[in-house]
Amino acid sequence: MKRNGVQLILILLGAAFVFVMLILPLITVMTYALRQGWETFAEAITDDYAVKALKLTGFSTVITLAVNTAFGVFASWAIAKFAFRGKQVLTTLIDIPFSISPIIAGLIFILVFGRIGWAYPLTESLGVKVVFAVPGIVLATIFVTFPFISRELIPLMQAQGNEEEEAAALMGAKGLKIYRRITLPHIKWALLYGVILCTARAMGEFGAVSVVSGHLRGKTNTLPLHVEILFNEYKLTAAFAVSSILVVTAIIIMILRNIVEYKLKKEEG
Amino acid sequence: MPKRAMGTNTGRSIRRRRNQVIPGFGLSMGVTIFMLSLIVLIPLASVFVVLSGATPQEIWKAITDPQTVSTYKVSFACAGIASVVNVVFGILLAWIITRYKFPLRRVLDGLIELPFALPTAVAGISLTTLYSDKGWIGGFFAKFGVMISYTTIGITIAMIFIGIPFVVRSIQPVLEKLDPQYDEAASVLGASKARIFFKIIFPEITPAALTGFGLAFARAIGEYGSVVFIAGNIPWKTQITPLIIKSKLEQFNYTAATSIALVMIIFAFCVLFGINTLQARINRIAQG
């Protein structure tokens, strides 16, 4: 196909859109982060509160990944390998967190565990603080990313069918062995893909976490919340320096995602 | 499921027997229902628990409060405009990525995902700075007296940012499946480029474009992190609905916060239902 004028205009138009809408914000983060030199940058990202926020973000991301991977594995097995009534309803229910505003995701945990919540007396008597504490942050993050992994696994496992697992079961293999030897090798890239998406969303979650966090510095501040506080205090350089950690992580995640997507396509096709 | 449902009795009885061969139904279903209830269903049900303690008048008053209504207007108008812009550029981007070859095409394709990967708060402060009257883009427009950050224009821009991947990723697979032979044939028969696009390609991608519109719109309405900074949250002017829920909550007005949340949840479900209906139609077309 020879390139003509219309093609060139369309490509330039698309490239201009991507440059202004997507690339410029990234450049903004990096420029502002470094505008007062490396020393200020290093100071901002090694600040005590920033490090604590980073640790909390890491912690809640790891717990979220563990919970959602477990859910994804069990849910995809139940939904893809068996026929039962109400499957459509079940998959719709699993997708609920996708369609709900993060603010509402935070709100519902306040309604359960907050001072007016019905579970408040129970958690109080156990001496556990959920809202305005770390458990609330973790719960809200799990909620928001809940369907990420099951959603990647279910369509793939449905498309692959049950024949191999059935054969293995008929030959006497136990459930765990079937899963490890037959199912897992087929879905490993999809599982990894789901884990990557889940990581990106979990570490960046802002709305839901900001509702339940209470913004206690050094205690319930995640990295995105720390960025918000710095920005609202007009500490622009520090806000963008901390943001740059998240930007670099996001770019690494995008590259990993592309690699895994390529592997996935190769396996399917 | 639809592929297998042959409707014959033998098919069904074979399937039932097959199901018993694979182990783990009880366990996996049990864990699934348990976790789903604990993390999603029971917390969500507390919306209804809280609202059952309020009178219908209280709920109605909360959701029709004039300041709250002004947030619906801001959220809907900005999300609507942003989603229309996204459909136009989404079609354009999906088209050039699937049909043309040019340098850095793969990079462009990958970059579309950025709004999914970038934490929303980072996007928010970055867009706010970029479009403020001292920023690179905002500074240019400020010379002409056009303010972007802290106005509805800024909100719309943030919503365009957050919505673009939904539209591109909805349309892309349809364009990839669409055989270029059709437009080549039409071109050989003498149809103009514009005519080919509007007569052949546009009808094919319309359902996918609508799906993308719906997804982007729903996301824009619910979005908080990337919008809240650039919005500036001036009451009556640039307050978005998720923000008013949060501020009601901070005033310990749980009934009002939950009532407005219910409106948003119902709206989100309507959009989701519409998308699922459309998607079913697209799948029928795709399967021929």
CATH code of residue B127: 1.10.3720.10
Question: Is residue A5 one of the residues assigned to a domain?
Answer: no
Question: Is residue A15 one of the residues assigned to a domain?
Answer: no
- Per-residue confidence (pLDDT) for residue B127, from 0 to 100: 96
pLDDT higher than threshold 60 for residue B57: yes
A184: pLDDT confidence band, cut at 50, 70 and 90? very high
Instruction: Give yes or no for A75 touching B (CB within 8 A).
Output: yes
- Whether residues B159 and B30 share a domain: the answer is no
* pLDDT (tens digit per residue) in A59-78: 999 999 999 999 999 999 99
- Whether residues B18 and B100 share a domain: the answer is no
Q: What's the number of domains chain B is made of?
A: 2
Distances (CA, A) of B64 to B69, B121, B260: 6, 30, 9
* pLDDT (tens digit per residue) in B175-232: 988 877 877 788 888 878 788 888 888 888 898 999 999 999 999 999 999 999 999 8
Contact call for B221 and A246, based on CB within 8 A: no
Q: What's the number of domains chain A is made of?
A: 1
B3: pLDDT confidence band, cut at 50, 70 and 90? very low
Question: Is residue A165 one of the residues assigned to a domain?
Answer: yes
Q: Which of 91-130 (A) contact B at CB < 8 A?
A: 93-97, 99-104, 107-112, 116-118
The percent of residues in chain B predicted with pLDDT above 70, rounded, is 91
- Whether residues B222 and B247 share a domain: the answer is yes
Candidates A102, A143, A139, A257; CA nearest to A194 is A257
Average pLDDT over residues B129-135: 93
Contact call for A96 and B218, based on CB within 8 A: no
Domain that residue B220 falls in = 54-287
- Whether residues B64 and B181 share a domain: the answer is yes
- Per-residue confidence (pLDDT) for residue A211, from 0 to 100: 94
- From B271's Cα to the closest Cα of chain A, the distance in A is 9
Candidates A62, A72, A93, A96; CA nearest to A148 is A72
Question: Is residue A86 one of the residues assigned to a domain?
Answer: yes
- Whether residues B202 and B92 share a domain: the answer is yes
Candidates B265, B218, B263, B260; CA nearest to B243 is B260
* pLDDT (tens digit per residue) in B134-166: 899 999 999 999 999 999 999 999 999 999 999
CA distance B71 to A100: 17
Q: What sign has the CA pseudo-torsion A253, A255, A260, A262?
A: positive
- Per-residue confidence (pLDDT) for residue B14, from 0 to 100: 44
Question: Is residue A116 one of the residues assigned to a domain?
Answer: yes
Place of tokens 């479009």: B131
Question: Is residue A22 one of the residues assigned to a domain?
Answer: no
- Whether residues B59 and B176 share a domain: the answer is yes
Instruction: Give yes or no for A240 touching B (CB within 8 A).
Output: yes
ipTM: 0.91
Burial (CB < 10 A; 0-12, 13-18, 19+), residue B61, is middle
Domain that residue A96 falls in = 35-268
CA distance B205 to B197: 10
CATH code of residue A102: 1.10.3720.10
- Whether residues B19 and B145 share a domain: the answer is no
CA distance A43 to A250: 22
Question: Is residue A179 one of the residues assigned to a domain?
Answer: yes
* pLDDT (tens digit per residue) in A105-124: 999 999 999 988 889 999 98
pLDDT higher than threshold 50 for residue A152: yes
